[in-house]
Amino acid sequence: MTQIPEVTGFYEARSGSIQYVVADPGSGDCAIIDPVLDFDENSGATATHEADRILGFIAERGYRLQWILDTHPHADHLSAADYLRTRTGAPIGIGDRIGQIQALWNDFYNRPDFPTDGRQWDRLFADGETFALGTIPVRVLLSPGHTLASVTYVIGDAAFVHDTLFMPDSGTARADFPGGSASALWRSIQRILALPDDTRLFTGHDYQPGGRAPAWQSTVARQKAENIHIASVPDEAAFVALREARDRSLPMPRLILHALQVNMDAGRLPAPEANGRRYLRIPLDLLRSPWA
């Protein structure tokens, strides 16, 4: 019998992100998935309001935090994983392909001394690896396409797919970042949609198409029937054509160059320099120009 975790989503409006607390109702053990560190690019200010909100919820429920999990290094917000690890002592984890992204982006940021073996996390999960959240089994599925290192966490009857499938009225994630692949994304989606039809799917972003309220939960069956990028295409070639055409029309995320240098270091902010201030590095003329 498939076990059913309690899932609570926390919507972060600035980036349209959903952060999750997933709990085993029997043991009270829980995990945080894809936490957000507050960052304002206009002022350069950082804060921990979102992460502290989640910690407050966990304390209120009496849960015990066992894991802090990232599905991938995000391009649109800074991760609060390191902050939460420092506050709680809970281990942080990510997929074991993270080193490929570190090596790729480290070259862009020209940081030759930066480690690119994933050592910044406490646990690197291989495809198919299993562990437990209390009494509930967790299985890790490699889900590349949006990034080289994206993973899905299948926790009981719930799968956390982040930037792979959005809500059915929003389609699928873009695949045009360095290391991305629309073909790989299609294959990852098919693997997720091979889960039982009643599997609950929890996405990591929602941009409220048509002005509707934020939403983040669907099912495998609903995605098969209604997803605007899946239900309407007959095969991989058609999906790739649709996805690549869509990606060419999208601007780059406004925080991609800010976020990747922090998130491939597990959410650690840059060390203070001699004057006590921290600095981000922004490579110029790296990504596709909006004037192209």
pLDDT in tens, 270-290: 999 999 999 999 999 999 888
Question: What is the model's pTM?
Answer: 0.96
Torsion of CA 195, 214, 144, 117, to 10 degrees: -120
Say yes or no to pLDDT of 122 above 80. Answer: yes
What are the strands, taking DSSP E only, across the chain? 6-12, 17-23, 29-33, 36-40, 45-47, 64-69, 78-79, 92-95, 123-125, 130-133, 136-142, 151-155, 158-162, 200-203, 217-219
pLDDT band at 91 (very low <50, low <70, confident <90, very high): very high
**292, part of any domain:** no
Instruction: Look at residue 1 and tell me whether its pLDDT is greater than 80.
Output: no
> Domain for residue 44, yes or no?
yes
When pLDDT is averaged across residues 14-24 and rounded to a whole number, the result is: 97
Domain count, the chain: 1
- CATH number, domain at 198? 3.60.15.10
Distance CA 243, CA 230 (A): 10
Tokens of 226: 């209604």
Q: Assess whether pLDDT exceeds 80 at residue 190.
A: yes
Tell me how far CA of residue 157 lies from CA of 58, 197, 203, in angstroms: 21, 10, 14
Containing structural domain, residue 58:
6-251
Q: Which residues of 274-286 are buried (b: 16+ CB within 10 A; e: fewer)?
A: eeeeeebeeeeee
Task: Note the Cα 240 to chain centre separation in Å.
Answer: 22
